[in-house]
Chains A and B, each alone.
Chain A
Amino acid sequence: MGISVEGANKSFGDFQALDDVSIEVPDGSLTALLGPSGSGKSTLLRAIAGLETLDTGRVLIDGEDVSRKPTQKREVGFVFQHYAAFKHMTVYENVGFGLKIRKWKKDKIRARVDELLNLVQLPGLADRYPSQLSGGQRQRMALARALAVQPQVLLLDEPFGALDAKVRKDLRTWLRNLHEEMNVTTIFVTHDQEEAMDVAGQLVVMNQGRVEQSGSAGDLYEKPANEFVMSFVGEVNRLGDHFVRPHDIEVVRDKDESTEEAMVQRIVALGFEIRVEFVLGDGTEVWAQLTRNELQRLELREGQIAYLRPVHAKSFNGSSPSNPRGASTPHGSTDGGDAEVTAAA
């Protein structure tokens, strides 16, 4: 079931959480809402679930306007960052809760709960209480509970935010596989761009209550609509009016008209990747990402002079994301300039 939000506005007192937000989530997709904290991504998700009411704007699920429908009737599955497990119920009762509310027969509930516990890889833990489970297990239980009632859409609010790095990585892969299997339209909220790119097919980048850009991970990385998106989905250097990714800086030993002189300030080895920090003549600090082989070939040492050639530098015609109103770029569009220049500054 496709989801669309049209012209959503929501404020909490003086704080504008959503500022004329419109998004389109295709049927069966796995979409990430990505943004820093306070960007309105959770508010948008909660509005889709009906846990927040919009000041103005509409939410449509499968083409039907559900803006006035209470949460209970929207048939959404919602997973909270802190699990929201019913602590006084066993895993079995937690997962079966929605079915019991729907007055399913006991044996049918048992069959369905068993099926789901297998799906989320928690068989045999039905009689435990949430306090006896690890964080990852609790979150999978919460997911089973949300899926039990066969929701039209699945909404996940920073589902892995409270888990440690290793478990988070495992659950990401697992969620992607689960989505492929179930094919339920899924939206998940995260502030971690790597997580969003890893899991989701479509990303919506939000900032200060507005949608900055939406598209595939590749689109956002290659054709960011503005400075905010460019710096949020990856590392970036600023060279005057231009922005360039650290791996798009070519380091050479001989100068020509397209290079810029720089001094090597620090060399940081991060395994295969090497981070080389330079300082330019005008004091600008820039870093380049090199491989171990490149570094050996260039024989760079700290304090040495080298020449930088930025490839794929981008400028955004002075549009600044720190300006809350101006230069709002509608999603999907890449205008506002992704003019490529070879020499910067």
Chain B
Amino acid sequence: MVLACIFVSVPFVVRETVPVLQEIGTEQEQAAETLGASGWQTFWRVTLPAIRWGVAYGVVLCTARVLGEFGAVSIVSGHITGETQTLPLFVEQQYQNFNLPGAFGAAVLLALLALVVLMAMNLLKRKEAA
């Protein structure tokens, strides 16, 4: 399940991060180098902080994608309740088993989670733009 999720969602992080990296260029890293910072120090103190909102936004997008994942997990993970199931799969399963209250409960929870992610995204988008 984890592998399937990584496979479908990591491109979101990359797509968010790469433009930010391109925008800041390599001058700041070169400046850090001339000041004596090693590769790791440059990455942790200069590169990562500079792209942190881009990365965070990518991670949230990633989460949103994974929350609603259905097909990839269903095919790859084996669909075992409580172990390798995403919420949408659980909803589908309960619905198939005629457990309507269970299905609706899980669906509402999914909707709430989606709202939280949406708010987080908006907040980060603003930070990233600033």
Are these two chains actual partners, yes or no? yes
Measuring CB to CB, which residues of chain A are less than 8 angstroms from any residue of chain B? 49, 51, 70-74, 76-78, 80, 82, 84-89, 97-98, 101-102, 142, 145-146, 148-149
* 8 Å CB contact of A101 from B36, B50, B52: B36
- Are B36 and A72 in contact, CB atoms less than 8 angstroms apart? yes
> Does B34 lie within 8 Å of A82, measured CB to CB?
no
Q: Are B31 and A72 in contact (CB under 8 A)?
A: no
B27 touches A97 (CB 8 A): no
CA of A77 to CA of B33, assembled, Å: 10
B37: chain A residues within 8 A (beta carbon): 72, 97-98, 101
Chain B 48-100 interface residues, beta-carbon cutoff 8 Å to A: 49-50, 52
Q: Which of B9-43 contact A (CB under 8 A)?
A: 24, 27-28, 30-38, 41
Which B residues are within 8 Å of any A CB, using their own CB? 24, 27-28, 30-38, 41, 45-46, 49-50, 52
Inter-subunit contact B33/A84 (CB<8 Å): no
Q: How far is the CB of B29 from chain A (nearest CB, A)?
A: 9
Partner of B35, one of A70, A80, A145: A145
Report how far A87 CA is from B36 CA in the complex, Å.
Answer: 18
B36-A76 in contact (CB<8A): no
**Cβ-neighbour of B34 out of A76, A85, A87, A102 (below 8 A):** A76
B34 near A97 with CB under 8 A, answer no
Closest CB of chain A to B47's CB: distance in Å?
Answer: 10
Complex CA–CA separation, A98 to B35 (angstroms): 5
Q: Which residues of B contact A87 (CB under 8 A)?
A: 24, 28, 50
Q: Known interface pairs A86-B46, A88-B49. Does A51 touch B28 (Cβ–Cβ under 8 Å)? A: no
Q: What are 10 A-B pairs at a CB distance below 8 A? A: A70-B33, A78-B30, A80-B27, A85-B28, A87-B28, A97-B45, A98-B36, A101-B36, A101-B41, A145-B35
B36 touches A82 (CB 8 A): no
Query: How many angstroms from the CA of A321 to the CA of B19 in the assembled complex?
Result: 42
Shortest Cβ distance from A89 into B: residue: B49
Q: Are B34 and A86 in contact (CB under 8 A)?
A: no
When C-beta atoms are compared, the residue in chain A nearest to B49 turns out to be A88
B46 touches A77 (CB 8 A): no
A142 to B31, CA, bound (A): 9
Asked if A97 meets B50 with Cβ closer than 8 Å, knowing A72-B37, A82-B27, A84-B27, the reply is: no
Extra contacts besides A87-B24, A145-B31 (11): CB < 8 Å: A70-B33, A71-B34, A77-B34, A78-B34, A80-B27, A84-B30, A87-B50, A88-B50, A97-B37, A146-B35, A149-B36
Rounded to whole Å, the gap between the CB of A112 and the closest CB of chain B is 13
Give Cα A229–Cα B34 distance, bound, in whole angstroms: 32
> For A86, what are the chain B residues with a Cβ–Cβ distance below 8 Å?
28, 31-32, 46, 50
Complex Cα–Cα for A148 and B35 (A): 9
User: Which of B27, B33, B34 has the most CB atoms of chain A within a 10 A radius of its CB?
Assistant: B34
Residues in A neighbouring B35, C-beta threshold 8 A: 97-98, 101, 145-146, 148-149
Min CB–CB distance A298 → chain B (angstroms) = 54
| CB-nearest residue of chain A to B39 | A72
Contact B38 A78, beta carbon cutoff 8 Å: no
Complex-state Cα separation, A82 to B26, whole angstroms: 12
